[in-house]
Structure 1
Amino acid sequence: MKAVHFGAGNIGRGFIGKVLADADVNVTFADVNKPLVDQLSHQQSYNVKVVGSDSHIEKVTRINAVNSNSAALIEQMTYTDLVTTAVGPAILDKIAQTIAQGIEARFKADNLKPLNIIACENMVRGTTHLKQEVFKYLAASYHDLAEDKIGFVDSAVDRIVPPADAANDDPLDVTVETFSEWIVDETQFKGDIPSIEGMETTANLMAFVERKLFTLNTGHIITAYLGALAGYKTVREAIEDPDIRQQVKAAMQQSGAVLIRRYGFDSQLHQSYIDKIIERFANPFLVDDIERVGRQPIRKLGANDRLLKPLLGTLEYNLDNQYLVKGIAAALFYDNPADPQALELQDYLKQHGVRACLIKYTGLGENDAILDNIETTYLALQKQYV
């Protein structure tokens, strides 16, 4: 089996590319970083440091690489069996035209074998979004054939892959945590679903998308924003503070109550999932900077993202939410001179105040009662930390 994987960065090499290669799939990475592509295509292997209760090295083989803008990539897509991505949500639209060209090349070569495309991004229904973009570039004469032969499969992905150590001798080496989860929507495949160890299938993907968003992402960002207020530099430092740990755990329990009500998750199993995630944050082998986790606060305050969406769920089901409220209030303090969104947020906050800032960036209406709670909590945090 052959796969083309867009994105040869740390997540591409340390997570999806590794899962595929470990399952004996021949992986061709596609990336615009020429030195990275050249080294991958020359070495055709790299090392992954897997860290959990201990640390060990795993070698990844069965890989190659091509430039994303090359004819060689279109040739690879013409006969590949699977396409995956780990490029980041902002880059998906930019690779859509290339994917459309690859699909057209398959059809022109009379290759009518089913092809499945899976966007493995930190994005709800990212592949469905990618499909819409691909069809903008795909010739209209191929639309019906693509609907029949090309599967666009949504997925939920979860693995912490911190930035590489700058002192690392080999730029291809990457560090990842032991835990990984890749869940795909089995209802969206065309042809047979490939059997890949490490890729799980489900008919109810949104339950797992929201489980990850409301638990890992919610807990991660609240740890970062409370940690930043307390002066910590890493997620591990923050979660080892007993007061922050208690508040983060309580926030995840409040978001978890939404999941239990909405999807029928077992409450004890979900509590175990929360406990596992907190221990992942405290992994001594992972250095995850608060500056990295906290970046782009405007996006993370969006109505469908990790802070507001679980809060809205608590309002829908009339559930406790004071710790989720605190996480949102803490986000308003995030200030990073290197982050354009943080600068914009702080500027608007200073000019217009808390309520106007929340209305602009969260989608909450000016008459929503929860605005009072968030503002009161913000003022309490301001008094405590500023």
Structure 2
Amino acid sequence: MRAVHFGAGKIGRGFIADLLHNTGYEITFVDVNEKLNAEMNQYHNYYLYVIQEDYRRKEIDKVSALSPITQPEEVSKAIVDADLVTTAVIADNFPKIANNLAAGLKARLDAGKERVNVIPCENAFYCGVMLKNELLKTGLLTEEELEKIAGIPSTAVDRMVFAAERDGRDGIDVGNTYELVIEKNQLVDPDAQPIKGAEYTGNLDKYLERKLCVVNGGHTMSAYIARLMGYDIIQDYFKVPENTKLTRDIMLQAGAFIEKKHGFAHEEMADYIDATIGRWSTPGVKDTIERIAKAPIRKLDPEDRMVKSAIECEKYGLANDLILKGIAAAFLYDVEGDEQAAEIKAYVEENGIEKAVTHYTGIESGSHIYEEILNAYNEYKAKKSN
């Protein structure tokens, strides 16, 4: 079996290709990194190192790579002959891969080949819909043609991955737990399981919201609060039991609305949260606050991890005070080089925090959660200045 995978970054090689390899696929990566491509074409393998198993080395073999810039015809041919196509490029980069992918699917259609699953594995709400839209924008395929040649489900993804150079080569350190949930009713065959180790569901919403609000939200809010405490590395923050408890309580607040809305059992949610915090606290791993907290404007969006959780909890009559403190901390996030943090700081200085809260979160002035965010912000600011 042959798989074409767009994106040879940490998630691409360290997560998705790992599952493809376990399923039995030979993998052709499509990536712009010529140095990495040359290495894979020279050795036809690379290595993963499992963090929790004393960095046990795992070989991913039967791999090759193509450049979408210098080898577009070869990329198209690989898609024509593929049994599966996947992506891990960050959803914002869909426009950059759309022409190559659409050209390959059109060539496959013209060759009379069967439909193929194109599975985007991205940390974005309904990434399958996003990818379809970008493919149609190219004008290379009509909506009817795209439907005729490809099944494009959305997914939810989660795995701890870090770049590492080991044994003189570019490797990846990976966690031993992961989650890849695939929207089965959008597959070519809803009863098939094209990737071993993935979970297949007819209700992706519950997994997407759990990942976004509980995992991403908990991680992000911990980072903003940790920054105010003076931490640079999130693992150092988690070494303090009180901090770990605070993060767990924040995640439980977000998890409470997920339980109400989607029917997760509380014990299941608590176990999920504990396992997640366990990953973040893994000894020997160093993950920076700067990486986790970057782009605060995006993370303060009403449909994103923090504000969405606060509003949903309010709607269900659930506690959200700790989430609101996490949101307040985001308005004080200040790190050199983060353009969005600098923009928020400038806006607050010019217009005041009162206008900034509504401007960035959409939360109405005078509402309960608005007032709580202001109170928490002023408390944080007072402590920071002392």
TM-score per shorter chain, which class?
over 0.9
Letter paired with 1:369: H
Kept in 1: contact 2:108–2:149 (CA 8 A): no
Q: Say if 1:5 and 1:214 are closer, same or farther in 2 by CA, change over 3 A.
A: same
Query: Partner residue of 2:82?
Result: 80
User: 2:196 aligned with 1:194, yes or no?
Assistant: no
In structure 2, what is the Cα distance between the partners aligned to 1:74 and 1:330?
A: 47
In structure 2, what is the Cα distance between the partners aligned to 1:4 and 1:16?
A: 11
User: By how many angstroms is 1:138 displaced?
Assistant: 3.7
User: 2:130 aligned with 1:132, yes or no?
Assistant: no
Secondary structure of residue in 1 paired with 2:137: helix
In structure 2, what is the Cα distance between the partners aligned to 1:135 and 1:364?
A: 35
1:262-341 aligned within 5 A: 262-341=261-340
Query: Partner residue of 1:179?
Result: 177
Secondary structure of residue in 2 paired with 1:17: helix
User: 2:120 aligned with 1:122, yes or no?
Assistant: no
1:96-107 aligned within 5 A: 96-107=98-109
Letter paired with 1:81: D
Kept in 1: contact 2:103–2:140 (CA 8 A): no
Kept in 1: contact 2:253–2:323 (CA 8 A): yes
Number of aligned pairs? 382
Q: Please identify, of 241-250 and 305-314, the stretch whose mean Cα deviation from structure 2 is larger.
A: 241-250
Query: Partner residue of 2:24?
Result: 24
Secondary structure of residue in 1 paired with 2:305: coil
The RMSD of aligned alpha carbons is: 1.5
Q: Say if 1:316 and 1:170 are closer, same or farther in 2 by CA, change over 3 A.
A: farther
Letter paired with 1:201: Y
Alignment TM-score, normalising by the size of structure 1: 0.95
In structure 1, what is the Cα distance between the partners aligned to 2:169 and 2:179?
A: 25
Kept in 1: contact 2:105–2:149 (CA 8 A): no
In structure 2, what is the Cα distance between the partners aligned to 1:143 and 1:214?
A: 32
In structure 2, what is the Cα distance between the partners aligned to 1:53 and 1:278?
A: 18
Letter paired with 2:188: K
Kept in 2: contact 1:24–1:62 (CA 8 A): no
Deviations 1:69-124 (A, max 9, x none): 2221111111212111111122112211221111111112222x111111111101
Secondary structure of residue in 1 paired with 2:231: coil
Deviations 1:14-54 (A, max 9, x none): 00011101221111111111111111111111110111264
Deviations 1:336-380 (A, max 9, x none): 211111111111122112121121211223343311110100111
User: By how many angstroms is 1:286 displaced?
Assistant: 1.9
Q: Say if 1:53 and 1:374 are closer, same or farther in 2 by CA, change over 3 A.
A: farther
Deviations 1:188-214 (A, max 9, x none): 011362342211101111101111112
In structure 2, what is the Cα distance between the partners aligned to 1:261 and 1:249?
A: 18
Of the three residues 82, 93, 112, the one matched with 2:95 is 93
Query: Partner residue of 2:382?
Result: 383
Letter paired with 1:123: A
User: 2:357 aligned with 1:355, yes or no?
Assistant: no
In structure 2, what is the Cα distance between the partners aligned to 1:104 and 1:132?
A: 15
User: 2:245 aligned with 1:252, yes or no?
Assistant: no
Alignment TM-score, normalising by the size of structure 2: 0.95
User: By how many angstroms is 1:219 displaced?
Assistant: 1.4
Letter paired with 1:173: G
Kept in 2: contact 1:177–1:286 (CA 8 A): no
Kept in 1: contact 2:55–2:173 (CA 8 A): no
Kept in 1: contact 2:117–2:188 (CA 8 A): yes
In structure 2, what is the Cα distance between the partners aligned to 1:259 and 1:88?
A: 25
In structure 2, what is the Cα distance between the partners aligned to 1:168 and 1:295?
A: 27
Secondary structure of residue in 2 paired with 1:180: strand
Secondary structure of residue in 2 paired with 1:58: strand
Query: Partner residue of 2:47?
Result: 47
Q: Please identify, of 252-261 and 239-248, the stretch whose mean Cα deviation from structure 2 is larger.
A: 239-248
Kept in 1: contact 2:193–2:200 (CA 8 A): no
In structure 2, what is the Cα distance between the partners aligned to 1:375 and 1:53?
A: 45
In structure 2, what is the Cα distance between the partners aligned to 1:286 and 1:133?
A: 36
